[in-house]
Structure 1
Amino acid sequence: MSIKQVAKIAGVSIATVSRYLNSPEHVREKTRRKVQEAILQTGYAPNALARNFRRGRTSLVVVILPSVGDPFFAGVMRGIWRVAREEGYSILIRETQFNTLEFDEYSDIVFSKQADGIILLASTSPFMKEGNGKLGKNGGHKGEKLPPIVIGCETVAPQLSHYPSVRVDNESAAAEATRHLIRLGHRRIGFISGLHTSLLTRGREQGYRQAMTEAGLEVADNWIAEGRQTIEGARGAVHYLLAQSPRPTAIFCANDEMAMGAMHELRRAGLRIPEDISVLGFDDIRYAEVLDPPLTTVAQPAEEIGEHTMQRLCRAIGGDDIGGEPEIVPHRLVIRESTGAPPAD
C-alpha cells in the first residue's frame, strides 16, 4: 500500500498524511483519526529509512566501547538499549579492544551523516585525533561537523574533557574503599591499576593515594602495578606485588575483572582470602557476589549510567543544550567476605 492510497481513503491530501507521519502534533485531532483509520484499513507501513532521510535523521547511534565481553559494559549497554528502543534508535557497536581506532574506520559513517550521535564508553574517539591532518579539535575533515557525543563512564583522554559524561565520582569512591581497608587495620595496601596511558582508572588511583596520605600511610611505588584492566594483566600484577618485601596485606583492584584474576593467582600462590591477604574490587559486576569468597567492591549503577547517557544523547540530538559538565551518579561500597583484618606479623 502507498501513501497515496492512504490519503485517498482518509479523504485528505498526501501532504497531510506525510505531516501526520512526521509531526502528528501538527495535525488536527479529527484529521488524525481519519488518517489512523486509513492506515489500519490499508496496513500501510511507512518507509522509516526514507522518512528519516527527509527529516535529516538516521535513528542510528554509534557506541564505541573497549570490550563487549566486559560484564560491566554489558550492564551499561542494557541501559542504553532500553532507552534506544523507547526512543526509536538502532545501535551500532564498535569494540576497540582497548586500542585506539583508526580514523578512517568510522569516519565515513559519521561524516556522511549515517549516525545521529556517538556514545563513547571509556574509549578514546577515533574522530578527534589531533596532528593527523584530518581532524581538528571540534570538527571533521574539511570542516565536517561531528554529531553529538556523550561519554558514558570515565573520560579517558584530556581532549575529550569538554564533552558531557555520565559517571560516578571515581576519586571519592576509591578513597572510601581504601578507608575501609585502613579501618580493618591494613597499612600496606597495594593497588592494581589499568593501562598507564589511560585516564580510565587514574581517578581511582588518585582516590587510593588520597586516602593513604590522609591516614599518614606510605604509598610505595612498588605497591602499585599495572593490570591492563584484564584478568590476565591482574595475574601478572599479583606476581609482581607478591615479590615485594614487605608485600601488601591487601590489594585494591581498579575493576572487578582484575580482582577476579588477582584472587585466582593468590590462591595459586597458596594464600587464603582474606585471612592472608584481602582483595577489593570496583564495579560490582554480576559475578562479584558469587566469587569464592564474595568480593568486596564499589558498586557502579551500570544500567543507570547507560540509561542516562542515552537520554542525554537523545536530548542533544533533539537540539537541546546539554552542556559539558559530567553527570555524577551515586556509588556505594558493598562489603563482602574478601576483605578482613590483616594477618598478625
Structure 2
Amino acid sequence: MSIKKVARIAGVSTATVSRYLNSPEQVKENTRSKVQSAIDEVGYAPNALARNFRRGKTSLVVVVLPQVGDPFLDNVMRGIWRVADEQGYSILIRDTQSNSHDFDEFTEMVFSKQADGILLLASISPFSEPEAKRSREKAHPPLVLGLESVTTELNHFPSVRVDNVAAAADGTQYLIQLGHERIGFIAGKPDSLLTHDREKGYRKAMRKAKLKVENGWVVEGEQTIDGARRATRRLLAHKQRPTAIFCANDEMALGTVHEIKNAGLRVPEDISVVGFDDIRYAEVMDPPLTTIAQPAEEIGERTMRRLVQAIDGGALDKDTDTSPEIVPHKLIVRKSTGNAPR
C-alpha cells in the first residue's frame, strides 16, 4: 500500500502523511487522527529502511564483547536491550573471542555509516591500528565503553563503570577486618587495565594495613575457571599459604573454591574467598560467594542511553564529554568468608 493511497483516504497531502510518520508532533491532532485511521484502514506499513536512509541513520548499534555467554555481560546486555527497544534501535553483537585480531569487515561497516554507534563491553578495540589512529585524528562514529577500558588507546572514549580500584580495596579491607593477614590475589590477564586496577586496589588496602604482599601471592588466573584452578594450586603450595584469596572476577572464584575443596580444605574455615561481579551463580555456590557487586543491568542501561545521546549529538569530537560515569559498587557478604583461622 502506498503513501499516496493513505493521503487520498485521509484527505491530506502526501507531505502531511510523511510528516506524521516522521514527526507526528508537528501535525495537528485532528489531522493525526485522520491519517492514522487511513493507515489502519489500508494496512500501510512504512518502509523503515527507506525512512532511515532519508534520515541518514540506520537505527543499528554494534555491541562488541570478548565472548558470548559471559554471565556478567549477559546481565549488562539485558539493560542494553531494554533501552535499545525503547529507543527503536536494533543490536548487532560482535564477539572478539578475546583476541586482538584486525576486523577489517567490522571497521568498514562502522566507518561507512552502516551502524549509528558502537558499544564496547570490556573488550579490546575491534579496529586495526591504522583505523584506531584515524579515529583519534578524525571524528569517530559515536562509541561508548560499557565497563572499563581494557587498553590505553580506548581511554579517550566515554565510559560507564564502577571504580575498580576502590571496589577491590573494599573487598580486601573486608578480609583484613576478619583478621586475615596472608591474602592472595588471583588476577586476570596481565595486559588488561581492568586487572591492573583491581590489583592496585588490593595492594592499596594491604599497604594501608601495613601488611606485606609476599612474592607468589599475586598469580594470574586468565579470567577463567581453569586458569583460577591452576593459580589456586600455586597459592596452596606456597610456603606461606594465604588464609584468604581475592579473585578478580566471580568465574575465577568458582575455580578457586573448587580447587580448595579438592585439596581437602574448607571454605571459609581454612581459606576465605572473595569474588568480583556478583554473577547469577554467586548466590547458589557452595558456599555462597562473598563478592563485589556491580549493577550490571544499570550499567547496560546507562551505557546505551549515553550512546543514544552521542548519536543524537553527532560524532565524537574534541568538545564531547568523555569523562567516565562512575556507578556505585557494593560488597555482598555471604558464607565464603569468615574469620582468619588461628
Amino acid at match of 1:285: I
Cα distance, 1:245 vs structure 2:
1.0
Cα distance, 1:261 vs structure 2:
0.8
Who is 2:213 aligned against?
219
1:276-313 Cα deviation digits (max 9, x unpaired): 11100000111101100010000110000000000110
Who is 1:167 aligned against?
161
Distance 2:131 2:279 in 1: 39
1:33 and 2:27 matched: no
Structure 2 matches for 1:1-345, cutoff 5 A? 1-127=1-127, 129-130=128-129, 133-138=130-135, 145-319=139-313, 323-344=321-342
Cα distance, 1:322 vs structure 2:
5.9
Cα distance, 1:73 vs structure 2:
0.3
Q: Secondary structure at the match of 1:91?
A: strand
Distance 2:307 2:295 in 1: 18
**Contact preservation (8 Å) 1:164, 1:325:** yes
Amino acid at match of 1:99: N
Of 207-216 and 8-17, the range deviating more from structure 2: 8-17
Cα distance, 1:220 vs structure 2:
2.1
**Contact preservation (8 Å) 2:291, 2:331:** yes
Of 321-330 and 114-123, the range deviating more from structure 2: 321-330
Cα distance, 1:30 vs structure 2:
2.6
User: How many correspondences in the alignment?
Assistant: 338
Segments of 4+ moved more than 4 angstroms: none
Distance 2:168 2:92 in 1: 32
What TM-score do the two structures reach when normalised by structure 1? 0.94
Distance 1:180 1:137 in 2: 45
Cα distance, 1:269 vs structure 2:
1.1
Q: Secondary structure at the match of 1:221?
A: coil
Of 227-236 and 316-325, the range deviating more from structure 2: 316-325
Q: Secondary structure at the match of 2:313?
A: coil
Distance 1:201 1:75 in 2: 21
Cα distance, 1:159 vs structure 2:
1.3
Q: Percent identity?
A: 67
Amino acid at match of 2:114: Q
**Contact preservation (8 Å) 2:276, 2:291:** yes
Amino acid at match of 2:322: G
Amino acid at match of 1:270: G
Distance 1:183 1:293 in 2: 20
Amino acid at match of 1:337: K
Amino acid at match of 1:327: E
1:85-135 Cα deviation digits (max 9, x unpaired): 1011110011112212413041122122111010000012122x43xx444
Of 234-243 and 55-64, the range deviating more from structure 2: 234-243
- Gap change, CA 1:307 and 1:282, over 3 Å in 2: same
- Gap change, CA 1:86 and 1:254, over 3 Å in 2: same
Q: Secondary structure at the match of 2:173?
A: helix
Distance 1:220 1:309 in 2: 39
1:256-283 Cα deviation digits (max 9, x unpaired): 0000011111111111101111100000
Could you say what the CA RMSD is over the residues aligned between the two structures, in angstroms? 1.5
What TM-score do the two structures reach when normalised by structure 2? 0.95
Amino acid at match of 2:335: E
**Contact preservation (8 Å) 2:107, 2:131:** no
Unaligned ranges ≥5, structure 1? none
Distance 1:230 1:194 in 2: 8
**Contact preservation (8 Å) 1:110, 1:146:** no
Cα distance, 1:32 vs structure 2:
1.7
1:162-221 Cα deviation digits (max 9, x unpaired): 111111111111111101000111111000011001112221111100000000001223
Q: Secondary structure at the match of 2:99?
A: coil
**Contact preservation (8 Å) 1:101, 1:125:** no
Q: Secondary structure at the match of 1:218?
A: coil
Amino acid at match of 1:244: H
**Contact preservation (8 Å) 1:153, 1:166:** yes
**Contact preservation (8 Å) 1:312, 1:322:** no
**Contact preservation (8 Å) 1:7, 1:14:** yes
Unaligned ranges ≥5, structure 2? none
